[in-house]
Amino acid sequence: MSRPPAHATPRRSPGRLARRGLTAAAKYTILMLVLLATLGPVLWVYTTAFRSDAEIMQDPLGLPHEWRLENFSEAWKVGKFDRYFVNSVIIAVPVVSLVVGLSALGGYALARFRFRGNRFVFMLFLVGLMVPFQAVMIPLYFDLRDWGILSTYWAVILPGIGLGLPFGIFLMRAFFIGLPAELGDSAKVDGCNEFQVFWKVMLPLTVPAASALGIFQFMWTWNSFLMPMLYLQREQLRTLPLGVMLFSGRYSTQYGLLFAGVTIATLPVVIAYVLLQRRITAGLTAGAVKG
């Protein structure tokens, strides 16, 4: 009696194949429902921004019959979103740049240098992850007032950097620990000093982690509401989230303008995330595995 070849694939019963098919179908059905629940409201807001108020009242969930770009131009001008947009950029650019840069330096030092108190310094940054902004916002208000920078851009930039560093150093340290130490040793043999090792060898390898940190910090800074509301008390310094709040209160019945304003405020974050989503996934995965 002949035996089947060793490499032969065992035949699967029709019942097992049917069960696997049903499991896969249920899994993808659940994923599609979650996708619709997540993206549905966002797409509805973006499409409604192109509709007139009459269309919205007649069919709230329908698609635009005529795409009205006038909603965006009117919201941009009437709602002062041009000024609020510039304010958000002025705050977000230095916060994101300095958080990424300082986190890379701090994470490299804590990952590569062995000095007394290394672990203690790292634990201090971890404690910063556990302290919410609401716990320090009142003392911070009086500090900013005493320093004379209340109602200036620095009143939001400096606290934003401080609040972003704990997570940034945690992520970048985990990534630097996962890099082979032999890379730095080889660079030193070739004549590089410690900063050149960091700048020319190690830092280019951290692009995925730095991109993930940058996009998350950008989202947190761009969408920040409580801090600008407390510390930017002059109208000309307001950011987009504050502008959307004031705009929604003033034009609560003009739905086309309202949704256009919301789209203007949220679209930069969505575009940034779509463009960098692969780097974000790679950076967070590497940090989680190697930390």
Q: Where are the domains of the chain?
A: 14-48, 70-290
Q: How far apart are CA 257 and CA 48, in angstroms?
A: 9
pLDDT at 284 (0 to 100) = 61
pLDDT digits (tens, 9 = 90+) for 79-116: 888 889 999 999 999 999 999 999 999 999 998 888 88
- Model pTM score: 0.80
Say yes or no to pLDDT of 221 above 80.
yes
**DSSP for residue 135:** H
pLDDT at 290 (0 to 100) = 46
Q: How far apart are CA 81 and CA 78, in angstroms?
A: 8
The CATH homologous superfamily of the domain defined by 70-290: MetI-like (1.10.3720.10)
Which CA distances in Å does 97 have to 102, 213, 217? 8, 10, 9
pLDDT at 289 (0 to 100) = 47
- DSSP, collapsed to helix, strand or coil, labels residue 69 as coil
- Return phi, psi of residue 184, to 5°: -65, -40
**Structure-token pair, residue 163:** 């609040």
pLDDT at 8 (0 to 100) = 52
pLDDT at 80 (0 to 100) = 83
Mean pLDDT computed over 222-247: 89
**End-to-end C-alpha distance for the chain, whole angstroms:** 56
Cβ within 8 Å of residue 65, ≥6 positions away: 51, 55
Which has more pLDDT, 61 or 214? Answer: 214
Q: How far apart are CA 4 and CA 101, in angstroms?
A: 62
Q: What is the mean pLDDT of the chain?
A: 84
**Structure-token pair, residue 219:** 């989202």
pLDDT digits (tens, 9 = 90+) for 36-55: 888 888 888 888 888 888 88
pLDDT at 186 (0 to 100) = 84
pLDDT at 158 (0 to 100) = 95
Q: How far apart are CA 236 and CA 4, in angstroms?
A: 81
Cβ within 8 Å of residue 287, ≥6 positions away: 171, 174, 175, 209, 212
User: Do the Cβ atoms of 72 and 49 come closer than 8 Å?
Assistant: yes
Mean pLDDT computed over 145-164: 93
pLDDT at 272 (0 to 100) = 82
pLDDT at 98 (0 to 100) = 96
Closest CA to 50 of 31, 32, 66, 38: 66
Query: Picking from 51-55, 164-168, 210-214, which range would have the lowest pLDDT averaged per residue?
Result: 51-55
Q: How far apart are CA 170 and CA 291, in angstroms?
A: 9
Query: Picking from 110-114, 125-129, 180-184, 235-239, which range would have the lowest pLDDT averaged per residue?
Result: 180-184
pLDDT at 249 (0 to 100) = 75
